[in-house]
Amino acid sequence: MPLKILEKSENHLVALWQISENSQFFETQLPKEDLDYINSNYSDKSTNEKLQAKQKEKKLERLAVRLLVKNLAEQMRFDYTFLKKTKTGKPFLAKKEGNKNLKLSISHDFPFCAAIIDKTNEVGIDIQSLTPKISRVFHRVMSQEEQSIAQNLKQQTLFWSSKEALYKYADIEGLFFKEDLNVKSITDYEKTQLFGRVKNDLISYEWLPLFHHYFENEEKEFVVVWL
């Protein structure tokens, strides 16, 4: 379990996990409620080998990200119970009264998963591999200005992942990626500073700083973005 802490403070933790374990490793460390949810939604009983392999990856992602959240929550002295989701898909820790204010967000792109937790502030995180498909559909979710800034696959994946993280942060039904979520970047001394904004009456219009980290394995490059 190569676990990498990307950001840490008294109230805040961001981490990345490279999945190298089998399902049994996670199943022995997670509560029954997590396992029941995953086993009912990610069965690998298909007779199609490709589908079976994909379902196995999805199951491992869900197991790993829950154990990652458990690890981070316990580091911050919260009691991990099990993950539930709101009707908009935002995850939260169930049951315990002391966990009520904990904010969290998760993401996965095999063989990696990422999580962010914060004691008080809303958060969002997204991880994406650099794949040509993003370039092909980039115009559908980006404004003309954003398209003019992000000219190559690396920049386009960064902007794409930024909007995904903003969407999770906002947790508002009916947001449109192209119109309601804005991203801009400023390059200063070869360092890219990233900012995002949610245009909706339920949330501030201010530009918020976004943080990112590029990394790779033997097969692909990835980026993770959080706020």
Do 98 and 172 sit in the same domain of this protein? no
Domain co-membership, 199 together with 133: yes
pLDDT score, position 152: 95
Same domain, 151 and 65: no
Shared domain check, 133 and 98: no
Query: What integer pLDDT is reported at residue 216 of this predicted model?
Result: 92
Secondary structure (DSSP) of 61-129: HHHHHHHHHHHHHHHTT-----EEE-TT--EEE-S-GGGTT-EEEEEEETTEEEEEEESSS---EEEEE
Helix, strand, coil shares, percent, the chain, to 5: 35, 30, 35
81 and 137 inside one domain? no
CATH of the domain at 189: 3.90.470.20
Instruction: State the pTM of this model.
Output: 0.93
How high is the pLDDT of residue 98?
Answer: 67
Q: Are residues 52 and 94 in the same domain?
A: yes
Task: List, for the chain, all residue ranges whose pLDDT scores fall below the cut of 70.
Answer: 1, 43-46, 97-98, 188-190
Q: Which of 87, 119, 151 is where one domain is finished?
A: 119
The pLDDT of residue 32: 96
Question: Do 16 and 71 lie in a common domain?
Answer: yes
Q: What SS3 state is found at 168?
A: helix
220 and 176 both lie in a single domain: yes
Tell me how many domains the chain contains. 2
Q: How many Cβ atoms are within 10 Å of 181's Cβ, its own excluded?
A: 26
Q: What is the pLDDT of residues 164-192, one digit of tens each?
A: 999 999 999 889 999 999 999 987 666 77
Structural domain that includes position 51? 3-106+113-119
Calpha distance 64→40 (Å, rounded)? 17
